[in-house]
Amino acid sequence: MNSDIPCEDRWYEDFSIGESFTLGSVQMNAEEMIDFSTQFDPQRFHIDAEAAVDTIYGSLIASGWHTGSLMMRLLTDGFLGDSSQGAAGISEITWPSPVRPGDTLTLRVEVLSKRVSHSRPDIGLIEISNEMINQDGDVAMRTVPTMIIARREVAI
């Protein structure tokens, strides 16, 4: 393992299957939740605290896409560096627990698998699990993307 190398300074070779990282936290603010949802996901339980009371959630909740945007920000700030070449896709996206105003969400990333590209030996593919976990330990969002990471050492 290369735990002494910060994630954002790592190349494909520096990641190990099974490694996990805690990459930062955000606190959810009702005004920001409503602002985001008003523009991108204007469902009543995201934009109107009074109307949200009469839904299955019982109170205002964040849009899952807002949670995903915050997750991406934490991932960009703490995990993705110059070796990142984007993502090849995402095999899972779930929102197991609603996110409420005042929640603190922390990003946990785990390396699930990795392989060198057959067609592009200068890159590797790393499947990771991203979990936004609230202050009670509940997973609020989980994604499983396949990241494209440049290789430092290319065997040609």
DSSP one-letter string for 7-46 = GGG--GGG--TT-EEEEEEEE--HHHHHHHHHHH---HHH
pLDDT (0 to 100) of residue 153: 75
For the full predicted model, state whether its pTM sits above 0.75: yes
pLDDT (0 to 100) of residue 150: 96
Please enumerate in sequence order all residues whose Cβ is within 8 A of that of 151, keeping only pairs 6 or more positions apart, or say none.
11, 12, 13, 116, 121, 122, 123, 124
Domains of the chain, first to last: 7-150 (3.10.129.10)
The stretches in the chain having pLDDT less than 50 are 156
Question: Mind listing the pLDDT tens digit for each residue in 110-133?
Answer: 999 999 999 999 999 999 999 999
pLDDT (0 to 100) of residue 2: 62
